[in-house]
Amino acid sequence: MFAQSLHPEYITDEKGTRKSVIISASDFGELMEDIADLAACAERKDEPTISHSDLLEELKRDGLL
């Protein structure tokens, strides 16, 4: 999701300083999913990787492909 597609509304104080943001519930849900995805990526960043061909071989061996 890109910030340009959010269409936020702002709650301001008497000086016009932005204090809060209002976004749609669906946009909020998408943002929460994005945050969860980023957290999962951060948690797994140090895990070893395998090649695509090795992955396919493993999936075939396990009967998943």
Report the pLDDT value the prediction gives residue 52, as an integer from 0 to 100: 98
d(CA 16, CA 21): 13
Q: Which pLDDT belongs to residue 39?
A: 98
Its pTM stands at: 0.63
CB proximity list for 59: less than 8 A, separation 6 or greater: 65
Distance CA 59, CA 26 (A): 35
Within a 13 Å sphere around the CA of 9, how many CA atoms are in the beta-carbon half? 5
pLDDT at 5: 81
List per-residue pLDDT tens for the chain, 65 residues long.
666 788 999 999 999 999 999 999 999 999 999 999 999 999 999 999 999 999 999 999 999 99
